[in-house]
Amino acid sequence: MMKPIRETIHHLMNRHDFKERYEAMKRDILNDPHVQSFLRGHDVTDAMLNRHLGKLYEFVQQSKHCERCSSLEQCPNLLKGYTPHLIWQGKNIDVQYERCARKVQEDERKKQQSLIRSLFIPRDMLQASFDKLETDDLGRIEAIELANTFASTYEVGKRIKGLYLYGSFGVGKTYLLAAMANELAQRHIASFLVYVPEFVRSLKSSLQTDAFQDTIEYAKQVPVLMLDDLGAELMSSWWRDEVLGPILQYRMLEHLPTCFTSNFDLKRLTHHLAHSQRGEEEQVKAARMIERIVYLATPIEMKGKNRRIEM
């Protein structure tokens, strides 16, 4: 790599028109309005200019890229997403790089996205937001309002109840959770959105692994936990008593809000939680679980048309 560059420079230096080309380049640089305003008011000798022409050239090239910028993706600058500034270091000229507006915005978006962790939630669902949300159905307005209030006022450490959103298939329960997660992320609050039926299935196969322990630990401690479609999972006393119970217990004691969605109202959820696949009937344990849910979340019904596109 080094040899060709040295050869190129050598070639350039030996050209008889080198001096002219150099002067032309210098003129171009000094004609740049940003360079002019930077140099204005400073006592700049020709020797200084020659010494710093490389820096000025770099600035002009890089800032031209910025002026013609079409997207962060296509940024050709030395440091992608960084825009040059000329600065004086005593009597020396230097170029400093700062994040451009697009890069700042993108970094912020990524930071927010990293605050939303999810398991088994479709990617496009995670784009939900209160801005895009339609509020045509009267049966959902109360739920949407409560969800919006929660997401836009909750502060970490504040004692506040989450929501238990219930209603039939396709009324937009999961969508509303995702909108809450996004609103919370904009306010720099982390959330964990879990699709329960798939979660329970996957727990069985990852039992005893570190990943399993980490997930459970995160579900306990995340500022806002959102359990989507509770009641649609395959019920087992193991899931209820060894996993869900301890998570909810921990969150109750630590005053960490938790949101749920379900096709079932609390009465039907009690029934679901009381009947494991093995045919055991455990009313007391189910009732205890419902107590925790009610402690953590306010039940609210969502009504309206099925918004799922029939296939």
Build a one-symbol-per-residue string for 129-148: x at contacts with ligand ADP by CB under 6 A, - elsewhere: ----xx--------------
171 interacts with, out of ligand ADP, Mg ion, none, CB within 5 to 8 A per kind: ligand ADP
CB 292 within 8 A of CB 159: no
CA dihedral sign, ordered 55, 21, 34, 49: positive
* 179: its two tokens: 């909108």
* 276: its two tokens: 């494991």
308 interacts with, out of ligand ADP, Mg ion, none, CB within 5 to 8 A per kind: ligand ADP
CB 140 within 8 A of CB 151: no
Binding site for Mg ion (CB under 5 A): 173-174
172 interacts with, out of Mg ion, ligand ADP, none, CB within 5 to 8 A per kind: ligand ADP
Dist. CA 193–CA 116, nearest whole Å: 7
- Residue 304 binds ligand ADP (CB under 6 A): no
CB 263 within 8 A of CB 232: yes
Backbone angles phi, psi at 73, to 5 degrees: -50, -45
Using CB under 6 A, which of 170, 197, 223, 245 touches ligand ADP? 170
Count of residues that interact with ligand ADP, criterion CB under 6 A: 11
CA dihedral sign, ordered 68, 70, 71, 76: negative
231 interacts with, out of Mg ion, ligand ADP, none, CB within 5 to 8 A per kind: none
Using CB under 6 A, which of 39, 171, 194, 222 touches ligand ADP? 171
Minimal distance in Å, beta carbon 232 to Mg ion?
Answer: 9
CA nearest 243: which of 205, 217, 221, 272? 217
111 versus 132: smaller Cβ distance to ligand ADP:
132
Do the strands 92-99 and 82-89 form a parallel or antiparallel pair, or are they unpaired?
antiparallel
- The residue at minimum Cβ distance from ligand ADP is 172
Minimal distance in Å, beta carbon 261 to Mg ion?
Answer: 6
- Interacting residues with ligand ADP (CB under 6 A): 133-134, 169-175, 307-308
